[in-house]
Amino acid sequence: MIANDPIEHLIGLLSRLPGLGRRSARRAVLKMLMDPAGRMLPLAEALQHAAEAVRPCETCGNLDTASPCGICRDAHRDRRLVCVVEGVADLWALERAHAHRGTYHVLGGLLSALGGTGPEDLSIAPLLRRIEEDGIEEVILALPATVDGATTAHYLTDRLKPTGTTVTRLAQGVPIGGALDVLDDGTLAAAFKARRPL
Amino acid sequence: MIANDPIEHLIGLLSRLPGLGRRSARRAVLKMLMDPAGRMLPLAEALQHAAEAVRPCETCGNLDTASPCGICRDAHRDRRLVCVVEGVADLWALERAHAHRGTYHVLGGLLSALGGTGPEDLSIAPLLRRIEEDGIEEVILALPATVDGATTAHYLTDRLKPTGTTVTRLAQGVPIGGALDVLDDGTLAAAFKARRPL
């Protein structure tokens, strides 16, 4: 009797999104219901449009309205540099940081013995094909600094060796603005070991 | 180049919801884009349906798919008891707590000198009309324990006096499960003053 089906149904769907619990989903729905035409319908349309328009790029795996995606089609991008990422979220993060002027390759996951993810579950064969066909000179592994990330990086390094491409990975160390005394020991030790002359 | 319009547009709309920042909106959109048909389109439909179906109850101001709302139509509700709330969120909270067996009246705000909200901005005249027409015996003021809440409660008590209805307000005190030493002084003093025999 609190609220009828459409409201409860909507709260249920919203609360399944990451970052939104039931309480905040309720607040969001109430706020939207104050102005359905101005807040609710535009969101419904944006969702529908995105669901219909967005697809994975068949070259790199990025999400975009076209395939090949905007990055793969961009003539200003250096095609000899390919940055390998776990997922689209990491690709977006690197783009926001303007970190990379080449193209990308989305693996779609990481090797994981526990999670049961093997090489055939990841976009590795397409990466090898790209290296062969597109004259790629450097593969930059931008994988997370976790056990699975390191495993995947080692595996890829082995698989890429026969191609003759240079394989690099992101530097590890103290984050910009990071205080030393709150940093975990592993990072601190790695940063110390990899110290560089000023 | 990160992402084209539909994705950025959707992230922008989602991040305007209370409780969702840009970062969590991005995560939510990425998660939905992993399964557009299963996650995105149902949400779009639920939003559209709610926007079309939900309206304010013309009697009490609750949001429902019908007017009068389910609570106002419920024959098991005691129509002699009306609980006055600031907004629909508070009505839902009281319903979740099964606190009230009567009906409600949503004011649509609180009197606020700073916010420029006067009596004519709130649903007060309709409340007086309901009291006159429906034989209401008790008006329970379930307003927030803030300055504006107290101001509104005082104003309503004055306005309701001529009708002869009993006006009550929620008890103030220590919340259930609340530790005394983390409670603010005002609540603690009020709870002490309003102590009751066991």
Summarised one tens digit per residue, pLDDT across range B103-161 is: 999 999 999 988 899 999 999 999 999 999 988 999 999 999 889 999 999 999 999 99
B88 and B162 co-located in one domain: yes
Q: Is the pLDDT of residue B44 over 90?
A: yes
CA distance B129 to chain A (A): 24
Domain annotation covers residue A184: no
Q: What is the CATH number of the domain that holds B112?
A: 3.40.1360.10
B161 and B112 co-located in one domain: yes
B69 and B162 co-located in one domain: yes
C-beta separation of B62 from B106 below 8 A = yes
Domain annotation covers residue B76: yes
Domain annotation covers residue B48: yes
Q: State residue B2's pLDDT score.
A: 43
Q: State residue A138's pLDDT score.
A: 94
Q: pLDDT of B14-36, one tens digit each?
A: 999 988 889 999 999 999 999 99
Q: pLDDT of A49-94, one tens digit each?
A: 999 999 999 999 999 999 999 999 999 999 999 999 999 999 999 9
Average pLDDT for chain A: 90
B162 and B68 co-located in one domain: yes
Domain count, chain B: 2
> Using CB atoms, which residue from A6, A37, A52 is nearest to B53?
A6
A83 and A140 co-located in one domain: yes
Q: What is the DSSP letter of A162?
A: G
Q: What is the CATH number of the domain that holds B34?
A: 1.10.8.420
CA distance B122 to chain A (A): 15
Q: State residue A128's pLDDT score.
A: 96
Q: Is the pLDDT of residue B1 over 80?
A: no
Chain B residues closer than 8 Å to A16 by CB? 39
Q: State residue A1's pLDDT score.
A: 39
Domain annotation covers residue B107: yes
> Using CB atoms, which residue from B37, B52, B54 is nearest to A7?
B54
ipTM over 0.85: no
Indicate yes or no: CB of B17 within 8 angstroms of CB of A31. yes
CA B117 to CA B95: how far, in whole Å? 27
Q: pLDDT of B173-182, one tens digit each?
A: 888 877 788 7
Domain annotation covers residue B182: no
Q: State residue A4's pLDDT score.
A: 52
- Rounded mean pLDDT of A169-191? 81
Chain A residues closer than 8 Å to B83 by CB? none
CA atoms within 13 A on the CB side of B167: 19
The percent of residues in chain A predicted with pLDDT above 70, rounded, is: 97
Lowest-pLDDT range of A1-5, A26-30, A66-70, B45-49: A1-5
Q: Which long-range contacts (CB under 8 A, 24 or more apart) does A107-113 make?
A: A107/A61, A107/A143, A107/A152, A108/A61, A110/A86, A110/A143, A110/A144, A110/A146, A110/A148, A110/A149, A110/A151, A110/A152, A111/A148, A111/A151, A111/A152, A111/A155, A112/A148, A112/A151, A113/A151
Q: Does B124 touch chain A (CB under 8 A)?
A: no
- CA Rg value for chain B: 22
Q: Is the pLDDT of residue A2 over 60?
A: no
A46 and A107 co-located in one domain: no
Domain annotation covers residue A63: no
Domain that holds residue B155: 63-168
User: In terms of DSSP bridges, do strands A63-64 and A55-56 run parallel, antiparallel, or are they unpaired?
Assistant: antiparallel
B196 or B85, which is more confident: B85
What values do phi and psi take at A168, rounded to 5? -125, 165
Domain annotation covers residue A180: no
Report which residue type is found at B13.
L
